[in-house]
Amino acid sequence: METKKTQYKYINDGKILFEFEEDLDIFEELVEDYQARFHLMTNEIKSGIQNKSSEEVRIAAHTLKGVVANFYSDKLTQSAFQLENSSHEENWSDLQEYYDQFLKDNDIVLKEVITFINEQKSKSSEVS
């Protein structure tokens, strides 16, 4: 299905609505779970970089990538992919840089995701 982008710069809101069958409750739950587990997941990457354990970084970044893929944000997915992919090269200073970039991208994208949820909620309350 073709989905058109609207006012959001980093997320594909049409794709979110399509993939989640317009079930905002489930999507919201996913975002809440993500926020609740975010530090745990990113700490695994941080600890992997500190311990120079590429496997630890790879697995944690892979999981993170899988979760953020639900936001249909090329920027954030790409950022997580870069982190996962670079873990093989074991260039620890680059990895630290990619990790910091991921945190920045996450802030931007998550703000949009939350705006999107609030917007959808107000739309549905207008209808009801």
Partner 1 sequence: MIKLILVDDDQINSKIFSKRLAKRGYETEVFHSGSEFLDFFESKGEQGKFIIILDIVMPKMDGMAVLKAIREQYSPMEAPVIMLSANEDTEKVVECLNNGASDYLTKPANIDIAVARINTQQELINSHTGKIKKKQLETINSMVTTFNHEINNPLTIALGTLRRDFSKIDEKRVKVAVDALERIAMIVKKIERVTKSDQVEEETYVAGTKMIKIK
Among residues 37, 88, 104, 121, the one that binds partner 1 under rule CB under 8 A: 37
Among residues 10, 49, 57, 70, the one that binds partner 1 under rule CB under 8 A: 70
- Binding of residue 24 to partner 1 (CB under 8 A): no
Contacts for 12-18: CB closer than 8 Å, 24+ residues apart: 12/72, 12/73, 12/74, 13/72, 13/116, 15/72, 16/70, 16/71, 16/72, 16/116, 17/120
67 or 108: whose CB is closer to partner 1? 67
Among residues 63, 96, 115, 120, the one that binds partner 1 under rule CB under 8 A: 63
Are 87 and 65 a contacting pair, CB within 8 Å? no
Among residues 24, 30, 108, 117, the one that binds partner 1 under rule CB under 8 A: 30
- Binding of residue 62 to partner 1 (CB under 8 A): yes
